[in-house]
Amino acid sequence: MSAACCFAIAAAVSSPATAYSQDMGAVKEYKVKVAYIYNFARYIKWPKDAFADRESPFVIGILGDAPFGNTLQRVVESRKIRDRRIVVRHFAAPRDYESCQILFVTGTVDVEAQKEIVNLTKGMPVLIVGETANFASQGAGINFYHDIDDTIGFEINVDNLKRRHLMVDARLLKLARIVGDN
Amino acid sequence: MISKTAKLLRGLAHYFSRKSINGKLTLLTVTSSGVTLLVACLAFVSNDITVIRDSKVMQLTALGEVLASNSTAALSFDRSQAAEELLASLQNRPMVEYACILDNNGKLFAQYISDSQAHRPQLEVADRELGHQFTDDGHLEVILPIVEGGDVLGKICLYESLADLTAQLTRYAAIVAIVIVLSLLVAMLFSFRLQRAISAPILELATTAKRISTEGDYSVRVPRRSDDEIGVLYEQFNLMLEQIQHGEQSLHEARDKLEIRVMERTTQLEELHKQLLETARRAGMAEVATSVLHNVGNILNSVNVSADLIRERLRKSEVTDLNRALAILDDHKNDLATFVTENQKGKHLAPYLIAAGRTLQSERDNLFDLSKSLMENITHMKSIVAMQQSYTQVSGLTETLSMGELIDDVIEMHASSLQKYGIKLVRQYDDIPEVTIDKHRLVQILINLLKNAKESLMEKLGGDATLTIRLQKNGQDHMRIVVEDNGMGIHKEHLDKIFTYGFTTKEAGHGYGLHSCANLVGEMGGSLSRHSDGPNEGATFIIDLPIITADTTVISSQ
């Protein structure tokens, strides 16, 4: 179940005040996730062939509905990752996929589409970040989850990153829940 | 402040000046080595402390940098638990008492409190600037930024106790103290041994000098042992001793010679004294002689005059004519009656003889008077000579008598001449009981004074000459005899010199009379003074004498 779905259902059944609160919580959650996605780029090293040339931007792709709107765009606009400017691209469906370094697969993308995009980018140096349960063991490099203390945690499939030639910083690993392929 | 320092320095200088030379040398050695050591130790210690502090800063900074680098992910992903786990690794470094990580907003993200600390220290880390600083309470504080990919994520603060540094410092201080004390002891030991080279000869010199001053033995010499300044000092000291010894020797000689010379001189002086005594005795005799001659001479004049008169009288005597008349009578002895009655010459003979008899009678009377005066004068002269003899032989022979009678006696001697020159005599006597006095001296004095007054009055032309003699009581035990005349007076210039021996205004004078009068009055314990208002104003001579009555006199046997 996607967050947006949750949000929609919640919005439908809840009182306006609760709906507002829920809404604020969701906004905050996505703000955190946006920051996390940006921060992942710091602790993961892409192989050289991941970029066409020196001038190529660091592309963050988003597959599925992005409930955070232009937040990510705003966050990354003025920043750089490893001296590369950052470009945010939105893909409505796996077939729209274009080369990128991080691909955020939102909760609105169904399992079929997830599999499709995983297969599509197989072996490519692309960090797939998901927010769907068990996605980490089914092709995603990093997957968000709700921790017990109501913070947002993330799990890392080290094997997956290895297959995609992505080097992950130990400091990041320390913070993550390590998972493997199923 | 300056004056205080100066005072302190003066006090130190005073203290230093009182110490013995050994003390000074020891103090010098110990002070210089102590100061040197202290400076060296301080330099080493301060250098060490600096190095230790620097290394502490470096270590803590390095640690902080590692922690900052490791905590970026935790900050990025808001995993404060992970950050605290990271900080927990500080347990391996027990001196770190506290550490914390602040996020970009200055909010506390993670912290570490060492087991030894009960609670976190009161630190406002958020406001602190980056870098390191040593706090007043003995801690090192390092604050570092946490940066990832050019973004500042927050900062990390480490707070480490410097107790070990303080302990180190204490240890150093103890070591320095021990080193200095030991070094000073060693320095003192060495200086005790070494300073003898300097102090021993000086002390020996001092001891020698002291011995010389107490024993007065200048024959001592100090043996020269070195060629330095002290050697020179010894040499000069010996030279000085030699000079002193030599000087003392010549002083002794001079003293011995002086004694002999003094003895010689004493003998000479005794001889001279004898001579002087002899001379004085002779002079005294001469004075006596002068006195006698003077007094006798005065009367001799009268004697001379009387003798001349007698001779003149005798030369012009009627006896010659009488003899011629008697020869005529003898020629006519046979016809004497006829011759007397009939001869022209004979008729005149009888009246002539009668006249001659009268003349001879008068001549005899005259000569008798003259011879009487002559006899009187001779008697006076005899008395004078006798008086002088008594004066020269028996000094201070006194008699108890009435002053009035004595003065009258003296006046009596001059009475005839006073009468002769028409000098009026006035006497005024106070009632004075009998006194004990040297009669001869007083008579001598009064004769002189009366004679002077008489002569002064004789020279005065015109006016009524008056001689006044007063006997007055002066106080309880003094009397005064005043001889006053209104004669020619005394010139002002002569007043002072009048009692001086040899001074005279008379043609035939000796300048002796008044001089001897003053002497005699002085010998009698009195005083002679004079007064005159000037020439032709008369003169007054005053004899002041103590009254000695028979009761008060201790009669001195001759």
DSSP string, B91-118: GG-TTEEEEEEEETTS-EEEEEE-TT-S
CA-based angle B546:B550:B551, to the nearest 5?
100
- H/E stretch holding B298: helix B229-315
In which region does residue B538 sit, left (phi positive, over 0), alpha (psi from -120 to 50) or beta (all else)?
left
CA–CA dist B338, B326 (Å, integer): 16
Q: Do B468 and B428 contact (CB within 8 A), yes or no?
A: yes
Nearest-CA neighbor of A105 among A64, A157, A155? Answer: A64
Q: Residues A68-79: pLDDT tens digits?
A: 767 777 777 788
Q: What is the DSSP letter of A140?
A: -
Contact B222, B204 (CB under 8 A): yes
Round to the nearest angstrom and report the end-to-end CA distance of chain A. 21
pLDDT band at A12 (very low <50, low <70, confident <90, very high): very low
Question: At B505, phi and psi to the nearest 5?
Answer: -115, 0
Q: How far is the C-alpha of B66 from the C-alpha of B540, rounded, in Å?
A: 142
A170 neighbors A161 (Cβ within 8 angstroms): no
pLDDT tens across A76-94, in order? 778 888 888 898 998 988 8
- Amino acid present at A48: K
Contact B82 A36 (CB under 8 A): no
Per the CB < 8 A criterion, the answer to whether A62 and A86 are in contact is no
**pLDDT 10s digits, A107-164:** 888 888 999 999 998 889 999 999 998 888 888 999 999 888 778 889 999 999 999 9
Q: Chain-centre distance of CA B201, in angstroms?
A: 45
Q: How far apart are CA B66 and CA B19, in angstroms?
A: 65
By Cβ distance, the residue of B77, B148, B151 closest to A175 is: B77
Across the range A64-71, mean pLDDT stands at 75
Identity of the amino acid at B273: H
Select the residue of A42, A171, A175 nearest B149 (Cβ to Cβ).
A42
- Smallest CA-to-CA distance from B132 within B163, B107, B105, B156 is with B156
A39 touches B: beta carbon within 8 Å: yes
3-state secondary structure of B128: coil
CA distance A130 to B153: 25
How many domains, chain A? 1
Q: Do A175 and B74 touch (CB under 8 A)?
A: yes
Residue A112's CATH number: 3.40.50
Question: B151 contacts in A (CB within 8 Å)?
Answer: 79
Choose the mutation target among A84, A174, A177, A178 for the interface with B, i.e. most B CBs under 10 Å: A174
Give the 3-state DSSP-derived string for A141-166, with helices as H, strands as E and coil as C: CEEEEECCCCCEEEEEEHHHHHHCCC
**Beta-ladder partners of B482:** B470, B542
Chain A hits for B88, Cβ within 8 Å:
none
Cα–Cα distance list, B187 to B25, B36, B181, B192, B360 (Å): 11, 12, 10, 8, 143
CA distance A156 to B10: 85
Integer-rounded Cα radius of gyration of chain B: 67
CA-CA distances (angstroms) from residue A172 to A72, B86, B87? 21, 13, 16
Return the H-helix or E-strand segment holding B21: helix B21-76
Predicted-assembly ipTM surpassing the 0.95 threshold? no
By CB neighbour count within 10 A (0-12 exposed, 13-18 middle, 19+ buried), where does A167 fall?
exposed
Compare CB distances from A171 to B72, B78, B149 and report the shortest one's residue. B72
Which residue among B70, B77, B82 places its CB closest to the CB of A39? B77
What residues of B are in contact with residue A35 (Cβ under 8 Å)? Answer: 76
A26-54 mean pLDDT: 86
Cα A102 from Cα B122, distance rounded (Å): 44
Amino acid at B11: G
Cβ <8 Å between B77 and A36: yes
C-alpha–C-alpha distance, residues A129 and A142, integer Å? 5
Whose CA is closest to B158, among B50, B77, B57? B57
Which pLDDT belongs to residue B143?
92
Could you tell me which residues come within 8 angstroms of residue A166 by beta carbon, excluding any fewer than 6 positions away? A44, A45, A46, A47, A125, A127, A141
The reported pLDDT for the residue numbered B509 is 64
Query: How many CB atoms are located within 10 Å of the residue B303 CB?
Result: 18
d(CA A175, CA B82): 7
Contact with chain B for residue A111, Cβ under 8 A? no
Map tokens 């080290």 to a residue.
A158
Residues lower than pLDDT 70 in chain B:
1-2, 118-126, 284, 287-288, 387-397, 461-462, 502, 507-511, 550-558
Residues of B with CB under 8 A from a CB of A: 70, 72-74, 76-79, 82, 148-149, 151
Please state, in angstroms and rounded to a whole number, the distance separating the CA atoms of residues B291 and B165. Answer: 126
How would DSSP label each residue in B364-428? HHHHHHHHHHHHHHHHHHHHHHHHHHHHHHSTT--EEE-HHHHHHHHHHHHHHHHHHTT-EEEEE
Å between A144 CA and nearest CA of chain B: 12
Chain A residues in contact with B147 (beta carbon < 8 A): none
**CB contacts, 8 Å: B68 with chain A:** none
The reply to whether residue A36 touches residue B74, judged by beta carbons under 8 angstroms, is no
* Maximum separation of any 2 CA atoms in chain B, in Å: 224
Alpha helix positions (H), B148-228: 163-194, 196-215
Distance CA(B468)–CA(B383), nearest Å, equals 26
Question: If we measure between CA atoms, which residue out of B303, B294, B343, B478 comes closest to residue B403?
Answer: B478
For A10, the enclosing helix (H) or strand (E) is helix A3-13
Q: Which among B79, B148, B149 has CB closest to A175?
A: B79
The DSSP bridge partners found for residue B540 are B484, B531
Residues of chain A with C-beta less than 8 angstroms from the C-beta of B72: 42, 171
Among residues A152, A52, A136, the alpha carbon closest in space to that of B76 is found at A152
The residue in chain A having the minimum alpha-carbon distance to the alpha carbon of residue B85 is A174
Q: Which of A93, A104, A138, A99 is nearest to A121 (CA)?
A: A99
Q: Which residues pair with A86 in a beta bridge?
A: A58
Radius of gyration of the CA atoms of chain A, in A: 16
Strand partners, B472: B480
Q: Is A36 on the interface with B (CB under 8 A)?
A: yes
Could you report how far apart the first and last alpha carbons of chain B are, in Å? 93
- The pTM for the full model equals 0.48
- Contact in structure between B21 and B203 (CB atoms under 8 Å): yes
Taking the alpha carbons of B473, B474, B476, B479 in that order, is the dihedral positive or negative? negative
Gap between the Cα atoms of B409 and B424, Å rounded: 17
Q: Is B146 helix (H, G, I), strand (E, B) or coil?
A: strand
Among A79, A81, A172, select the one facing B73 at the smallest CB separation. A172
C-alpha B90/C-alpha B111 separation (Å) is 11
C-beta atoms of B73 and A81 within 8 A? no
Query: Reduced to 3 states, what is the DSSP secondary structure of residue B508?
Result: coil
Domain that holds residue A156: 3-178
Q: Which of B244, B246, B239, B237 is nearest to B206 (CA)?
A: B237
